Chains A and B, each alone.
Chain A
Amino acid sequence: MLGVISNIQRFTVHDGPGIRLTVFMQGCPLACWWCHNPESISYCDVKDAGDNLRFSVSELMKEIKKEQVFMDESSGGVTFSGGEPMMQAIFLEEILRACREEDIHTAIDTSGFVLSDAFHSLMDKPDLFLYDIKVINNTLHKKYTGASNILILENLRTLNKYRKNVIIRIPLVPGITNTKENIHDIKNLLLELPNIKKINLLPFHTIADGKYKRLNLENKMQGIRPESNANNVEIRSLFTEAGFETSLGA
């Protein structure tokens, strides 16, 4: 079994606890306007689809284990991000099992847009879910991500039901996800899920502009400036006051 991987990043420090290695897996069913990794959306990138991006489980484990001393020292681990890592469910399951055998902490950074069967089969495998919530209004969700959020919300309820370790990640995109209505909706949704207590707010930034230019892709966020910090802090207070353990920035 081979995994298709767009990039491996070492010494990542914001994708879960400790010092981590992040595996960016290729392919994503969504196409969010603000995506920071537009090159990882298509299942097989036309330009870079060389064999060098395909890893077997043992090859990838070799790369992961190179970082073990740092993971041990910092209680870190490995994070599977993307793209949507759960799209490569079989490979992901195998690599998660291999990590568990080595006692390596694992996290999945997911959009939640995954078929229920696949989701159920993977649910017990990682130590942590970094679970993205973007827009609650489904019409708007479809507009900005290209897909419905029904599956996403259903999968989140499943994680809550089975008391999985989850950190909700909310990208604060100006005028799209950070609107009063949307923040209010997200808060109400999360209040219904008693086992979910942690939120990580991700301020919008323009770091991917260069990638869009380089890859000659349309950048729908062209000209949108990052929100003032005060606004983001206000949103954090809102969640904190509602009883969530909320961090801002990453």
Chain B
Amino acid sequence: MNDRIKSLKEKSLNAEPYMSSQRAELVTEYYQSDEAKGLSIPVKRAMAFKHIMENKMLCVMKGELIVGERGLFPKSTPTFPEISLHSLTDLEQLNSREKQYFIVDEKAKNIYQEKIIPYWKGKTIRDRMFRKLSDEWKLAYEAGVFTEFLEQRAPGHTVLGKHSFKKGFLDLKTEIEEAKLKLDFCNDPNAFEKKEELIAMDLAADAIINFAKRHAARIEHIIKKESNPERLAELEIMRQNCLNVPANAPSTFWEALQHYWFIHQGVITELNPWDSFNPGRLDQHLHPFYTKEIEAGTLTKERAKELLMAFWIKFNNHPAPPKMGVTLKESSTYTDFSLINLGGVKEDGSDAVNDLTYIILDVIEEMRLLQPSSMVQLSKKNPDRFIKRAIKIIKTGFGQPSIFNTDAIIQELMRQHKSLEDARNGGASGCVETGAFGNESYILTGYFNLPKVLEITLNNGFDPRTKKTIGLKTGDPSTFKSFNELMTAFQKQLNYFVEIKITGNNSIERLYSKYLPVPFLSLLINDCIKNGIDYNSGGARYNTNYIQGVGLGSITDELTALKYHLFDQRTFTFRALKKALDADFKGANKMQEQLIEETPKYGNDDNYADDQARIVFDMYFKAIDGRPNTKGGSYRINMLPTTSHMYFGSVIGASPDGRNAKQPLSEGISPVQGADRNGPTSVLKSATKIDHIKTGGTLLNQKFAPQFLSNNEGITKLAQLVRSYFKLDGHHIQFNVVTADTLKKAQAEPQKYKDLIVRVAGYSDYFVDLTEELQNEIITRTAHEDMS
């Protein structure tokens, strides 16, 4: 890393998250203008976008190679009052909260008070949404049965495809003209709407081209003051870049990065799409530019690396916009989930790993930044060198890259009726979500709290926390004669809440379609232009909605405990159990211990427990998969939590797996913390008893101590472990390499780290089982390895 990159990185790391009111001001100004009156909504949205891109303050920093900031400076983050409006109290809270804070200055507060709040109050999507949603929906939402992704952030959740690196926005404008010519105003009743949408897209294309030109002008201004000849030459190229892209297709490596970065700015400024946006298969997109320039001698490997590093820093400058309430709880992080994909297969099915893949991996290792996130797509066709290189980065312990199964992703996409080529060009974005990059709108609509549904079932439709009947009366469980009877009741409740969620989604989707079309994003995803339909109205080639199941490990262990103790072993009665749960196990310590220690658990390759995982998964799949959404596509499931397992746990009382009230649920498809006692191979076996191919993504976390990965043999064996998991159709795995810090915590709170395996001198053991002396030895050694 050279001095320039070091200094830019330092700036990025030191910058404090700051809330900028500029975008809110500009969009409000436009909505209030005379010009906006009488425009169709898509055109008004495009004009508002153009107004922002043509008037927002620009930021070009000393030493920068890639330009463009969404806010005023690094980590300055705008708000989106069209979607949800921050109140003055919210702004106070943003400024003062300990985690995920944003500095809000007095000026911003005044602007909000005087301009933003008076205009948007009652008009935001969130306001409209909550006016329309049913009482049943609100009861379930307040009880914590599910969350709503679109209450504070827009549908987005999509990734750029390879065509976008081969076209400029002038090319897209030509496509728009062609689409306009094809409109049939006699036979197509929607032709007039399509025309408005196409006009809007055309304006949005102008907006981004002008945004780039403004940067060129700004750089020209800087050039006049610059005296260093080296920097002058650079600045001149940067100025040219901003004139060439994104108006035209990029022709150099540098232009390609700047081209994407302008697009990224456009997408995340137009609205705040959930799981921001990302370039997808970066090594594939950039490789032609890289090869061409290396051969021509116009680019060196070092320069390519420097440009990539500068590009990385731009992502890190952009935290997710300020979240509040449940949205903050389900996703309490600054990360905006841009997930760079590397490796995988090409469109023709062949191994896609190339020399640039390894260069980008070097960049990831050197940068060690929170953003962007990175992942490797591992196909059976990829070489071992690739996975081993990734593991060598993982072992440095900053949680990146995660590892995905390309061959499973392709099967998942094919099951959803995507073409083979579109599937091979796809990947995963956000946390683990499968998508056909460049061709699909795949909206996550909310997390779904599976263990909460069981709690409501065990209370015959009543929610003990909100003290309201929110579910169906499926019977008093003490009268159930068999486990099947219990499962039937659970399934009824599950279907009931799924239908409430989907009904709500349908109404919310219509609101976005009507009030907040995204003509800019629609330019990027096939086939919005061809169809003349907005991304938010079903213009994309594929339109998928997801509801993300949470707490598979927890609900499996809960159901298993009920089956084992109430019906098979008859250890105790339902009434006795219910009494203990209601008392949060006070006075029932023995029962709690039996539930925790003397019950089969998910994560041990034991079918007695894992059968329940399969049953719940299949019920959840049947309840959701294949239902139509409002955009001509279908509902699908995936299994991931982000941080919602903490929130979902906090709304549930003590549970039959021995978990105390309000404690977190299991995350992703991982076992309950400490429930897996047979090591990683058993966890992987349990986790693949559900059919990953029927999902759009699952998330599995595994902890490892760095000692295991200290030599080549350990790395090889971890690679083999991953390959085995993928053979079993596992979708994703990420390794949490445990640091000395974690080990210290494990020493202090052993009950929370029962599953932590450490390896020393050829022998493996559970860390908490070791003598204090040896624990200290390992901690010291780990600390040493952390530093090296």
Complex CA–CA separation, A70 to B713 (angstroms): 15
Which residues of B approach A to under 8 Å, CB–CB? 605, 678-682, 685, 713-714, 717, 720-721, 723-724, 727-728, 760-765, 769-771, 773-774
Tell me the A39-74 residues at the B interface (CB within 8 Å). Answer: 66-67, 69-70, 72-74
Complex CA–CA separation, A69 to B722 (angstroms): 11
Instruction: Assess the B717–A13 pair: CB atoms within 8 A.
Output: yes
Interface-centre pick from A19, A202, A207 (highest chain B CB count, 10 A): A207
Closest to A210 in B: B771
Interface segment out of the listed A4-12, A120-128, A179-187 = A4-12
Closest to A14 in B: B762
Instruction: Assess the A66–B685 pair: CB atoms within 8 A.
Output: yes
Contact of A73 among B679, B727, B773 (CB under 8 A): B727
Instruction: Assess the B720–A19 pair: CB atoms within 8 A.
Output: yes
Instruction: Assess the B720–A74 pair: CB atoms within 8 A.
Output: yes
Instruction: Assess the B605–A66 pair: CB atoms within 8 A.
Output: yes
> Can you list 16 A-B pairs, Cβ within 8 angstroms, ordered by A?
A10-B681, A11-B721, A12-B764, A13-B714, A19-B681, A19-B717, A66-B682, A66-B685, A70-B721, A73-B727, A74-B720, A74-B724, A203-B761, A207-B761, A207-B770, A210-B770
Instruction: Assess the A209–B681 pair: CB atoms within 8 A.
Output: no
Instruction: Assess the A249–B762 pair: CB atoms within 8 A.
Output: yes
In the complex, which residues of chain A have a beta carbon less than 8 angstroms from the beta carbon of B760?
Answer: 205, 207
Complex CA–CA separation, A18 to B716 (angstroms): 9
CB distance from A228 to the nearest CB of B (A): 14
Instruction: Assess the A70–B771 pair: CB atoms within 8 A.
Output: no
Complex CA–CA separation, A213 to B769 (angstroms): 12
In the complex, which residues of chain A have a beta carbon less than 8 angstroms from the beta carbon of B764?
Answer: 9, 11-12
CB distance from A204 to the nearest CB of B (A): 9
> 1/0 per residue A18-52: CB within 8 Å of B?
11000000000000000010000000000000000
Closest to B762 in A: A250
Complex CA–CA separation, A11 to B769 (angstroms): 18
Instruction: Assess the A69–B728 pair: CB atoms within 8 A.
Output: yes
Closest 3 CB pairs of A and B: A250-B762, A210-B771, A74-B720
Instruction: Assess the B720–A73 pair: CB atoms within 8 A.
Output: yes
Instruction: Assess the A202–B681 pair: CB atoms within 8 A.
Output: no
Beyond the given A206-B774, A250-B761, please list 19 additional residue pairs across the A-B interface where CB-CB is below 8 A. Answer: A11-B679, A11-B680, A11-B681, A19-B724, A66-B685, A69-B724, A70-B720, A70-B721, A72-B724, A73-B720, A73-B723, A74-B720, A74-B721, A203-B761, A205-B760, A206-B773, A209-B771, A209-B774, A210-B774
In the complex, which residues of chain B have a beta carbon less than 8 angstroms from the beta carbon of A18?
Answer: 717, 720
Instruction: Assess the A205–B761 pair: CB atoms within 8 A.
Output: yes
Complex CA–CA separation, A20 to B557 (angstroms): 28
Closest to B765 in A: A207
Closest to A202 in B: B762
Complex CA–CA separation, A206 to B765 (angstroms): 13
CB distance from B692 to the nearest CB of A (A): 15
CB distance from B275 to the nearest CB of A (A): 32
Complex CA–CA separation, A3 to B717 (angstroms): 29
Instruction: Assess the B724–A10 pair: CB atoms within 8 A.
Output: no
In the complex, which residues of chain B have a beta carbon less than 8 angstroms from the beta carbon of A209?
Answer: 771, 773-774
Instruction: Assess the A10–B771 pair: CB atoms within 8 A.
Output: no
In the complex, which residues of chain A have a beta carbon less than 8 angstroms from the beta carbon of B720?
Answer: 18-19, 70, 73-74
Instruction: Assess the A10–B678 pair: CB atoms within 8 A.
Output: yes
In the complex, which residues of chain A have a beta carbon less than 8 angstroms from the beta carbon of B714?
Answer: 13
Complex CA–CA separation, A69 to B730 (angstroms): 13
In the complex, which residues of chain B have a beta carbon less than 8 angstroms from the beta carbon of A67?
Answer: 681
CB distance from A22 to the nearest CB of B (A): 10
Complex CA–CA separation, A219 to B717 (angstroms): 34
Closest to A21 in B: B681
In the complex, which residues of chain A have a beta carbon less than 8 angstroms from the beta carbon of B713?
Answer: 13
Instruction: Assess the A9–B681 pair: CB atoms within 8 A.
Output: no
Closest to B688 in A: A69
Instruction: Assess the A10–B761 pair: CB atoms within 8 A.
Output: no
In the complex, which residues of chain B have a beta carbon less than 8 angstroms from the beta carbon of A13?
Answer: 713-714, 717
Instruction: Assess the B724–A70 pair: CB atoms within 8 A.
Output: yes
Tell me the A95-115 residues at the B interface (CB within 8 Å). Answer: none
Closest to A8 in B: B678
Complex CA–CA separation, A210 to B777 (angstroms): 13
Complex CA–CA separation, A250 to B713 (angstroms): 10
Complex CA–CA separation, A14 to B728 (angstroms): 24
Question: Quick one: given A66-B685, A210-B774, are A36 and B763 in contact (CB under 8 Å)?
Answer: yes
Complex CA–CA separation, A75 to B765 (angstroms): 23
In the complex, which residues of chain A have a beta carbon less than 8 angstroms from the beta carbon of B724?
Answer: 19, 69-70, 72-74
Instruction: Assess the A69–B727 pair: CB atoms within 8 A.
Output: yes
CB distance from A224 to the nearest CB of B (A): 13
CB distance from A210 to the nearest CB of B (A): 4
Complex CA–CA separation, A202 to B720 (angstroms): 24
Complex CA–CA separation, A205 to B731 (angstroms): 39
Closest to B763 in A: A207
Closest to B684 in A: A70
Question: Quick one: given A11-B680, A14-B762, A250-B761, are A74 and B717 in contact (CB under 8 Å)?
Answer: yes
Complex CA–CA separation, A203 to B761 (angstroms): 7
CB distance from A20 to the nearest CB of B (A): 10
CB distance from B54 to the nearest CB of A (A): 57
CB distance from B406 to the nearest CB of A (A): 17
In the complex, which residues of chain B have a beta carbon less than 8 angstroms from the beta carbon of A10?
Answer: 678-682
In the complex, which residues of chain A have a beta carbon less than 8 angstroms from the beta carbon of B774?
Answer: 206-207, 209-210
Complex CA–CA separation, A36 to B773 (angstroms): 17
Complex CA–CA separation, A14 to B723 (angstroms): 19
Complex CA–CA separation, A213 to B771 (angstroms): 9
In the complex, which residues of chain A have a beta carbon less than 8 angstroms from the beta carbon of B723?
Answer: 73
In the complex, which residues of chain A have a beta carbon less than 8 angstroms from the beta carbon of B678?
Answer: 10
In the complex, which residues of chain B have a beta carbon less than 8 angstroms from the beta carbon of A202?
Answer: 762
CB distance from A15 to the nearest CB of B (A): 8
Contact of B679 among A9, A72, A213 (CB under 8 A): A9
Tell me the A194-208 residues at the B interface (CB within 8 Å). Answer: 202-203, 205-207
In the complex, which residues of chain A have a beta carbon less than 8 angstroms from the beta carbon of B727?
Answer: 69, 73
CB distance from B702 to the nearest CB of A (A): 11
Complex CA–CA separation, A203 to B770 (angstroms): 19
Complex CA–CA separation, A205 to B759 (angstroms): 12
Closest to B717 in A: A13
Tell me the A206-250 residues at the B interface (CB within 8 Å). Answer: 206-207, 209-210, 213, 249-250
In the complex, which residues of chain B have a beta carbon less than 8 angstroms from the beta carbon of A250?
Answer: 761-762
Interface-centre pick from A72, A73, A209 (highest chain B CB count, 10 A): A73
CB distance from B405 to the nearest CB of A (A): 14
CB distance from B550 to the nearest CB of A (A): 28
Instruction: Assess the A70–B762 pair: CB atoms within 8 A.
Output: no
In the complex, which residues of chain B have a beta carbon less than 8 angstroms from the beta carbon of A73?
Answer: 720, 723-724, 727
Complex CA–CA separation, A206 to B724 (angstroms): 33
Closest to B720 in A: A74
Complex CA–CA separation, A203 to B763 (angstroms): 11
CB distance from B83 to the nearest CB of A (A): 46
Complex CA–CA separation, A247 to B90 (angstroms): 63
Closest to A204 in B: B761
Complex CA–CA separation, A69 to B605 (angstroms): 13
In the complex, which residues of chain A have a beta carbon less than 8 angstroms from the beta carbon of B680?
Answer: 10-11
CB distance from A105 to the nearest CB of B (A): 14
